[in-house]
Amino acid sequence: MPKSPRSIIETRPSRTKIVATVGPASSSREQLESLLGAGVDVFRLNMAHGGPAEQEASLAAIRAAAESVGRPAAVLTDLAGPKIRLGEIPGGQLVCNSGDRVRFVHGGEMKEQKREGRREKREDSVGASHPSSLFSLPSSPFTALTTTYQPLLDELAVGDRIMLADGTVSLTVEEVDPAGATCRVVQPGVVRSRQGVNLPGVKLSAKALDDADRRNAVWAAKNGVDFVGLSFIRKAEEVQELKALLAEHNPETQVIAKIEKPEALEHLDQIVSAADGVMVARGDLGVEIDIARVAMAQKEIIAACNRQRKPVIVATQMLDSMTHSRTPTRAEVADVSNAILDGADACMLSGETAIGEYPREAVEMMHRIAMETERLHLTLPSAMENSRRLTASGMGDEKSCPATSASDRRLLASGYSSNDDVPSVLNPITETTVAAAGRIAEELGAKVVVVATASGATALSMAKNRRRVFTLGVSDSPATLRRMCLYWGVIPLAGAPTNDSAALLRYVVDLGRAEKLLTAGDRIVLVAGTGLSVSRHNMIVVHEVG
């Protein structure tokens, strides 16, 4: 744990947190230390790739790297969820031309197909050992596909759309019979073995938490992982199921709900309320809904999280080109910046750090974008002022936007990162005190706001006020310190006294002077309790360094 915030302030002075996925390009202790130095706050373990031994080794390396660097780093275990995938394709890939017929069948089925005028009957030998495999002959008029989701044929209907290969190939179901489903290729492309299958608008019976996910979740809880990501959720009850499972093994482990299904958008407020945090998982979300809606869905999700004081991560293809390039595209830079302006707490790197050629450069670039965005954003008028100008100019009213839905108009009216009129999730006295402390700190040009917190909730509330001044989140709980690594603008600090306000203030001042972070005349705002109200922050202390 850190003895001072110096290394944090020097290596990652951005308020926006960075989540990096661990993989072959970043799994060693040395690589992880390098990424921490570049600005990573949270490491993601993708349970869809790698076995238990590999994940355990990565977790141990992360903890060793954080100890070596001298600051906490949170760990997010991302469950695979009920992701539907194609089976194995002979030759590894299949070209789908526009108008081709593709037939989904049960795995392991014997198929009869034509080839060069000669009838052949071949058994799917791969399917004998892998019941969810795929068999095809390229010259056949029909190509038989199977998937990892056995009830698929029972849940498809004529007219349903099937998206393959991250939405690059589109099929329409034309006929369903007991033996299979015949589809026509609408959008051509190439599909490969084990690629994803999405069924936009199809109500599937698959559970968000299968047996493998439950085992991985229990492993995460027992090993002290900070966050567990729940994939493909549709309703709040699925979040509650995972939270109950985790609580049996480690009550400190929290749930990150990944929004990637249209049903999740329909129950967004309830899911956000049930979860400890949210991820805008734009990969599958952009296939499950119209891709043109993704940007506005992102804003809607972030706004819902900020209303309910929940941390939110924006993920997928943020700097994707940096997987193989030292520099991102201009559009990617704008994407990261826009996510920050939307009000995201963190931005995530996936393949860029897991398998990319330039993992450290990708982190450094995301950090640079965050720094520049925050520098400009924090000098602009508030989001609500911008929103009122939009409404006054006619951009946000119903008459000038007749094609927008009521939810879209509410989103326009709410602003991209509004923090006013937010329902309290803390004691209202604490919530009001925290909000006032942020305003006072800005008015006085304070160097930092100091908050002692047992669970991190008070620090999260300060983060959601989106103030210019950094928050020093002081705690004697290692789990809380790691949890605060996900909170916007919060610097976790261990070692300070947390039950004596005067001693805490002296500790911060002495530490700041010793590390040359504070000089005479600098101001500190401390949020504390008087001791008259148990478990409440009800006092603001403004101190000027002498």
pLDDT at 1: 40
CA dist 76 and 69 (Å) reads 19
Same domain, yes or no, for 452 and 406? no
Residue type, 27: S
CA distance linking residue 195 with residue 287, whole number of Å: 13
Residue 517: per-residue pLDDT: 86
Structure tokens at 79: 């469950």
Residue 41 and residue 16 in contact, taking contact as beta carbons nearer than 8 Å? no
In the numeric block, the tokens 């992880």 are attached to 32
**Confidence at residue 395, expressed as pLDDT on a 0 to 100 scale:** 40
Q: Structural domain tally of the chain?
A: 4
pLDDT at 143: 72
Residue 108 forms part of a structural domain? yes
Residues of the chain with confidence (pLDDT) below 50: 1-3, 6-12, 108-141, 383-422, 532
pLDDT tens figures, 289-340? 999 999 999 999 999 999 999 999 999 999 999 999 999 999 999 999 999 9
Residue ending a domain, among 156, 177, 198, is 198
Same domain, 95 and 129: yes
Residues 230 and 323 in one domain: yes
Q: What pLDDT is attached to residue 283? A: 94
24: in domain: yes
Looking at the structure, do residues 223 and 150 belong to the same domain, yes or no?
Answer: no
369, 400, 421 — which closes off a domain?
421
Ramachandran category for residue 108: left, alpha or beta (phi over 0 → left; psi -120 to 50 → alpha):
left
Residues 229 and 371 in one domain: yes
- Do 539 and 444 share a domain, yes or no? yes
Query: CB–CB of 401/409 below 8 Å?
Result: yes
**353 and 221 together in one domain:** yes
Q: What pTM does this model have?
A: 0.84
Residues 128 and 58 in one domain: no
Same domain, 124 and 44: no
For 216, the domain range is 6-82+207-380
Whether 388 and 376 share a structural domain = no
Asked, for residue 260, whether it belongs to a domain, the answer is: yes
Rounded CA-CA distance 211/201 in Å is 25
Instruction: Answer yes or no: are the C-beta atoms of 526 and 505 closer than 8 Å.
Output: yes
Residue 453 belongs to a domain with what CATH number? 3.40.1380.20
Dist. CA 191–CA 93, nearest whole Å: 6
In a shared domain, residues 327 and 386: no
Sequential DSSP letters for 290-353: -GGGHHHHHHHHHHHHHHTT--EEEESSSSGGGGT-SS--HHHHHHHHHHHHHT-SEEEESHHH
Domain boundary among 174, 198, 222: 198
pLDDT for residue 121: 32
Contacts of 300 (CB under 8 A, 6+ apart): 265, 268, 407, 411
218 within a domain of the structure (yes/no): yes
**Residue 381 pLDDT:** 56
Q: Has residue 433 been placed in a domain?
A: yes
Q: Give the DSSP H or E segment for 191.
A: strand 189-192
Query: Are residue 72 and residue 88 in the same domain, yes or no?
Result: no
Classify residue 1: in a domain, yes or no: no
